[in-house]
Structure 1
Amino acid sequence: MSLLRSTRHILLTRNVRATPWRRMAGIPFQNDLTPMDDDLFGLLDFKHYKPVDEGHSEVDTVFHDPESLSDVLPVGGDVLTSVDDNILTSVDDDFGLSAFSFYTPAAGVINEKGMHSEYPQMAALPDEGSALHISPQKESMSLPQLEATCKAEEPVAFISRMSDPYVNLALEDYIYNNMPLKPSLKTPGITNCNRLLFYTNTPCVVIGKNQNPYKEANLPLLRSLGIPFVRRKSGGGTVVHDQGNVNYSFMTTKEQFDRHQFGSVIVKEVNVAKGEGAPKFPVKLNARGDIVNAVSGEKISGSAYKLSKGRSYHHGTMLLESNLDVLRQLLRRDPAQLGVVKSASVDSVSSPVMNLGMDADLFIDQVIYGFQQEYGPAQVVEIVSEEQLPPKVLEEAQNLKSWEWKFGSSPKFTHTFTNTTHSFDITFEVSRGYLDAFHVTPHGGVTIKEMDMWFKYLKQVVGDDAKQLRYGGSEVAGYILEDTVSDWIGLSIDGTL
């Protein structure tokens, strides 16, 4: 077991790219987004996305106009694009989105430094008066050691170097469920079994437990770029993860739950960080428990919570160097193209956000120091490979990928589209992810008899009590006889045919 020393030093970190501090409207914590500045979103500068690996389909061309998906999705029923392997295409790649890497599950060690338990040497001490911390020594454990550590009756901090969002959320769930509620009398001097977890995911959209993906995210665009959406097990709104942010999760007992307490620890440690990679401005905690710019009020980190089985956790996404201009596109929905969703699901809350500009490793080390100062000596464990994970973690990752969890968990909703080419509205009623009913309302274009012919097979399958039709673009489109209408509906629902 290794502890953080009280002497404060600076951690030698890699150079951090200067980040422009622009006001951004509600990114990535909400879905009601509007055009911003004249930078045209800086898509060519999105450094975190690397070229796709061999064996994956690659986007050859993408949408032409970033302010509208009219070149990707049909407008009013006019199918303007071709689809190859469910990848939406257009004529030009004006914004460099073909350089996005496609999501691939973590297959082994993910470690930017090319290290396991070796860490950078410390830099020379700065001038007297600077508030700095020494980097904690981390341990890399085998599977049996990790299982035992998750159940240890003492505080523990975990750092995941894996980048698969499903695996990281499953790991969080495993640590949470195996955390002892209190230490036994056999461990004198230990007063808590609190846990702290850090992880950084490949690009993905993460929705809250009680949210609707059709309402919160641009599913056709996500599909075209190979970026998954993930449903987490806590409440709250939709966020976007990429390798420019760090996710943290603080776990304690239900009795000790306080939505502001650990946020205050983070604020304190961020504000005392000095040297290379330090934040560009001070932060504070607002009344909602969000971490915001202490001067301008833009959100740096939103939070979500879970309380169950005598335990609780508070987790959040810390925006450090995320490309907000690109990420905003993943949540932007135009109802004229993607339909109007009505549901009892929880809506995301709009908030202006910005990057903190702090080095990720420095942020992690600072917060671990604060965790140890607040809760006592703690192990710091680094997880670099799926081989270290208990089987239950990988099983839970598969559950998080399942259709039943991702789509079947959405509250009942309706999804209405307007086809201006043939002058009709169509409303789908969806429950537990299955299509329960649909209604077509003509507006004088095509005759009712013609429409009955177009939708007769869809009507048959929906009316058959022995069958259940999953609500999805290709599933619904496959039962519509009129080709242009079939393609329009498939592309509009989720980008599939």
Structure 2
Amino acid sequence: MLLQIRYPLLQSIRRLSSNKNQAIHRIIYSSSTNIWFNLATEEWLSKTIKPNEHILFLWQNDKCVIIGRNQNPWKECFLERMESDGVLLARRRSGGGAVYQDLGNTCFTFLISQANHKLDKNLNSKILLDALRSEFNIEARAEGRNDLVYGPQKRKFSGSAYQNTQQFALHHGTLITNVDTMAMKKYLNPNKEKLISKGVDSVQARVINLCEVNSSINHKDLCSAIEKSYRQTYSNDSIPPAKALSREVLDSIPELHAAYKLYSDPQWRFGQTFSFTHEYERRFPWGTISIGIVSERDGIIHTCEIYSDSLYVNMINRLKENFIGQIYTGESIRQVCQRTRDQVETEQEKSMIDDVQAWVLTQI
């Protein structure tokens, strides 16, 4: 009789032990196309993930440039052009390089709790590749550390980045379906040595839109294909229906709202940079002017030296004083020049400041 009691108890303990390591899956879609909000949603999901939980998060962004955790925005992209065209700058917490995104991209995030599981980057890539193969007849492959490529020329259509903490592991990236490749050239300032190492002379030459391979591909159908591939890969687990997160619901979550404030904050977007110096010189009809900007890690202009053979000494000094303490962005430069313009008296000085403003904005 004692053995009969113990045996069911042992089976129950084994079942509990087995369930402890069984993954719980969630598939989530974002209804927002704002990069700051989507990064905040991704962060909120990562901070609230439960033990044993696996999350597939699918999202899309309107026009933006996203830089890596430790990148310098003044080196990676043309900020003035972005500002003029309403292209948002975002900084993610993960590493990697700068990317341009618009509604011709599909973004993915594989997120797991590290309590009992480890992130399998190769398996995640297989899920994406299987989706392309089965639903769109696109034969592609993984290449290098974090790329997915197509064809003998290894043209890239997907790049990834990673983040690891004690609580979670995250693998996110983008699939290029029909991105504006001319915008890449307009807003990104790629490292020339990196392009040479890839055997190409521009970002456009290296990438390929998946619509060039299959014209029927689009964000909605691609997300459905990825979801289907994800479910097939984890067929041993019961995965509930996908859930769409609306902006209205997410706006009411205090932790997510705090994350959104961080990602949209200029101090985060521009300030997480190494100290740098920017020097440039120009000859105008009224004289030569040289400007030296020094920023120390936070994107703020800590030192500004202006040298000129212009006869208007006070104008030059006021301009230099107004630069110090300002964040090094196009809008800030406009404000500095407008403030200086209001402080000078002659029309000649105002015209000179207009010249300086137009010139400096092309250098950022």
CA contact (8 A) 2:306 2:316 kept: no
Unaligned residue ranges in structure 1 (runs of 5+): 1-152, 183-191, 334-348
User: Contact 1:223/1:494 (CA < 8 Å) preserved in 2?
Assistant: no
Query: CA RMSD for the aligned pairs?
Result: 2.8
2:210 pairs with 1:356: yes
- Tell which structure's C-alpha radius of gyration is larger: 2
Percentage identity across paired residues of the two chains:
22
Extract unaligned runs of 5+ from structure 2: 1-22, 191-201, 212-216
Q: Secondary structure at the match of 1:303?
A: strand
1:239 maps to: 99
**Equivalent runs, 1:52-71 vs 2, <5 Å:** none
Residue identity opposite 2:210 in structure 1: L
* Alpha-carbon distance change, 405 to 248 in structure 1, aligned in 2, over 3 angstroms: same
Matched, 1:425 2:290: yes
Q: Distance in 2 between matches of 1:475 and 1:397?
A: 26
Q: Is the 8 A contact 2:306 2:320 kept in 1?
A: no
Q: One-letter code of the match for 1:248?
A: F
| AA aligned opposite 2:91 | R
**CA 248–229 in structure 1, closer or farther in 2 if over 3 Å, else same:** same
Deviation at 1:441, TM superposition (A): 4.9
**Residue of structure 2 aligned with 1:261, choices 123, 133, 145:** 123
Considering Cα pairs closer than 8 Å and 6+ residues apart, tell me whether 1 or 2 has the greater RCO. Answer: 1
Deviations 1:105-161 (A, max 9, x none): xxxxxxxxxxxxxxxxxxxxxxxxxxxxxxxxxxxxxxxxxxxxxxxx721111112
The equivalent position to 2:248 in structure 1, one of 386, 401, 411, is: 386
Q: Structure 1: which amino acid aligns with 2:62?
A: T
Which residue of structure 2 aligns with residue 79 of structure 1? none
**1:493 Cα deviation (Å)?**
4.8
Shift of 1:238: 1.1
Distance 1:423 1:458, change over 3 A: closer
Aligned to 1:407: 270
Q: CA deviation at 1:484?
A: 4.4
- Is 1:248 aligned to residue 115 of structure 2? no
Inter-partner Cα distance in structure 1 for 2:323 and 2:187: 31
Check whether the contact 2:323–2:336 (CA below 8 A) recurs between aligned residues. Answer: no
CA distance in 1, matches of 2:48, 2:301: 38
CA separation of 1:231/1:492 partners in 2, compared to 1, >3 Å: closer, same or farther?
A: farther
- In terms of fraction of residues, the more helix-rich structure is 2
Kept in 2: contact 1:473–1:489 (CA 8 A): no
SS at match of 1:155: strand
TM-superposed CA distance for 1:470, in Å, is: 2.9
Q: In structure 1, how many angstroms separate the alpha carbons of the residues matched to 2:302 and 2:74? A: 16
Secondary structure in structure 1 of the residue aligned to 2:82: helix
Give the counterpart of 1:162 among 29, 32, 54. Answer: 32
Contact 1:220 1:492 in 2 (8 A): no
Matched length = 306
Distance in structure 2 (CA, Å) of the matches to 1:289 and 1:249 = 14
Give a deviation string over 1:341-386, Cα, whole Å, max 9, x none.
Answer: xxxxxxxx95700111222222212222222233433231112332
| Corresponding letter in the other structure for 1:435 | I
Q: Match for residue 434 of structure 1?
A: 300
Which residue is 2:357 aligned to?
Answer: 490
Specify whether residues 258 and 485 from structure 1 end up closer, same or farther in structure 2 by C-alpha distance, changes over 3 A only. Answer: farther
CA contact (8 A) 1:473 1:492 kept: no
Between Structure 1 and Structure 2, which shows a larger proportion of strand residues?
2
Q: Quick check: 1:474–1:490 contact (8 Å CA) kept in 2? A: yes
Counterpart CA distance in 1 for 2:360 and 2:40 is 28
**What amino acid maps onto 1:425 in structure 2?**
S
Query: Does the CA-based 8 Å contact 2:26-2:54 persist in structure 1?
Result: yes
